[in-house]
Structure 1
Amino acid sequence: MKKVMLFLGMTICTQAVSHAQGLGQAVADAIGSVTVTNEQVAQYSKQAVQQMDAKNPVAGPNDPYTQRLNNIIGPYRTIDNIPINYKVYAVKDVNAFATADGSVRVFKGLMDLMSDEEVLAVIGHEIGHVVNQDSRDAMKSALRRSAVRNALGSGSGAIGRLSRSQLGAVADGFLGAKFSREQESQADDYSYDFLKRNGKNVIALATSFEKLAKLSGGSQGGKVAELMSSHPDSKARSERIYERARRDGLAR
């Protein structure tokens, strides 16, 4: 009898796993079938950033952090034909992000940690994700996941109007957005090329990584470690930039 019960248990378990796998594939297929256009990505990105701006303390136009950022970015209001709008979040976290609509948000904590040149290097990296369409693709994926239930319920196979809670979930995802290591390396290369093209200090990109590596073991290590969890090792990134700079005659 025990053998029969064991066999039945294994059969039920196998059926359950098979059902779960089938359900997972069905959900994946449903998500993939939801239509998201580039125009929708830009629209929802803008709406999500506006919601984030409303939830976070944004430094005003006369705030020293805003004035400093304006001096750092100088003429770089349009990059690779993408209009960029910049704001500072008066938040202690060491972070920055850019979205598919060209919004760049820099956190006070990052500006406290880094020099002007390093802040520009980090911004270059974030804009690299936009130019390389990493931000667009990540937003499309987030929109599909947020809207898939509505899409399935309506049978439309397209994303309609998102609720505030759905936009909020998408917006919160900006802070924890994770790109592949290859995408991160490509964004590093974009920042390096951006700095070099504009006559800026490419070594600032390397030293920004060194500061992140050092800080990851400090009092804010948890936040930085989480931020860098999907990134290539900061020390390795720094060494890679130094190597490029030496080849280009920009470092010894």
Structure 2
Amino acid sequence: MNRFSTPLLALCLTATTLVAQAQGGLGRAILEGLGSITLSDAQVAEYSRQGVQQMDAQSPVAGPNDPYTQRLNRIVARHHTISGIPVNYKVYLVKDVNAFAAGDGSVRVFKGLMDIMTDGELIAVIGHEMGHVVNHDTRDAMKSGLRRAAIRDGLASTNGALGRLSRSQLAGIADGLYGAKFSRQQETEADDYSYKFLKSHGYSVLALATSFEKLAKLGGGNTLEVLSSHPDSQKRAARVRDRARRDGLR
């Protein structure tokens, strides 16, 4: 099955490429190491913008008159800004059940996800994805990726080898970053952000629970990467339902 790059993969590729162009060997390692510590929200947004721009160029993006685009635009018409972040939306005409939000406010929803989710469930998923951005999970993941790149480059420089990282090295760094899933706590906090987002805008919070329940039934490879990174979607759905019951929102 074809898998499209995750946002973090694109972000890491873009950030590392920019660093590689600036310095070689140990100097590049030091620069990357510092970047992993001091990476600002503005830098994350810029790297995100460039990374998503690259992904859009390589992906089958639904046109403005496509029914999927029109449906998504209708769903998100009230949400051009989320927690002060300007958001732009596109649909990838890919069968995978997936979606992501990047640090610049780019939200990309896959056709496969739209095919199985209601409008309310899609808003819940978008809220979860944006929760990772608002909570700085995306920034922290990029820092981790740059830190690993610095270590890798530092080791390579001991033999005097200089120059840019090869395409395969860049891919290896990106794969390493992609392998570091969001933690259980980060996922829970993103769930909580989505719950509050739904509640504050008058949506049914139970849409978050039903989205988890649908994902739990899917199994296999075609699952939403972020929401299914822990095998407890049913427990997460139950947690949402319990909270809704306490809030009188059943």
TM-score, with normalisation over the residues of structure 1? 0.74
Give 3-state SS (helix, strand or coil) of 2:91's partner. Answer: strand
- 8 Å Cα contact 1:44/1:167 also seen in 2: no
Superposed CA deviations along residues 88-112 of structure 1, whole A, max 9, x for unmatched, are: 1100000111111211111000000
SS, match of residue 86 in structure 1: strand
Cα distance 1:40–1:73, how it changes in 2: closer, same or farther (>3 A)?
same
Q: Which residue does 1:247 correspond to in 2?
A: 246
Q: Residue 41 of structure 1 contacts residue 136 of structure 1 at CA under 8 Å; is this kept in 2?
A: yes
Quote the offset at 1:226 in angstroms: 6.2
2:80–2:87 Cα contact (<8 Å) kept: yes
Deviation track 1:150-197 (CA, whole Å, cap 9, x = no partner) reads 577789xxxxx9998787777778976620011001100100000000
Matched residue type, 2:229 = S
1:187 aligns with 2:186: no
1:34 partnered with 2:9? no
Larger Rg: 1
Kindly provide the amino acid, as one letter, of the partner of residue 181 in structure 1: R
Unaligned runs of 5+ in 1: 1-28, 156-160
- What corresponds to 1:47 in structure 2? 50
Structural RMSD (CA): 3.1
The structure-2 alpha-carbon separation of the partners of 1:154 and 1:171, relative to structure 1 and needing over 3 Å to count, comes to closer
- Which of 116, 119, 126 does residue 119 from structure 2 map onto? 116
Q: Counterpart in 2 of 1:100?
A: 103
Q: Report the 3-state secondary structure (helix = DSSP H, G, I; strand = E; otherwise coil) of the residue aligned with 2:60.
A: coil
When structure 1 is superposed on structure 2, of 230-239 and 93-102 the one drifting more is 230-239
In 2, Cα distance between equivalents of 1:139 and 1:182: 18
Q: Partner residue of 1:213?
A: 216
Gap change, CA 1:178 and 1:206, over 3 Å in 2: same
- Write the distance in 2 (CA, Å) between the matches of 1:164 and 1:43: 21
Partners of 1:181 and 1:232 within 8 A in 2: no
Q: By how many angstroms is 1:140 displaced?
A: 2.1
Give the conservation status (yes or no) of the 8 Å contact 2:145–2:174. no
Distance 1:172-1:111 versus aligned 2 partners, 3 A rule: farther
- SS for the counterpart of 1:249 is coil
Q: Which residue of 2 is the match for residue 201 of structure 1?
A: 204
Structure with the larger RCO, 1 or 2 (CA within 8 Å, 6+ apart): 2
Give the AA of the match of 2:239.
R
In the alignment, which of 132, 141, 146 is matched to residue 144 of structure 2?
A: 141
Give the Cα–Cα distance (whole angstroms) in 2 for the partners of residues 162 and 116 of structure 1: 43
> In 1, are the aligned partners of 2:32 and 2:146 still within 8 Å (CA)?
no
* Contact 2:35 2:146 (8 Å CA) reproduced: no
Query: Does the 8 Å contact 2:127/2:197 carry over to 1?
Result: yes
**One-letter code of the match for 2:222?**
K
> Could you tell me whether the CA contact under 8 Å between 1:89 and 1:108 is conserved in 2?
yes
- How many residues align? The count is 214
The TM-score normalised by the length of structure 2 is 0.75
Compared with structure 1, are the counterparts of its residues 77 and 232 closer, same or farther at alpha carbon in structure 2 (3 Å cutoff)?
A: farther
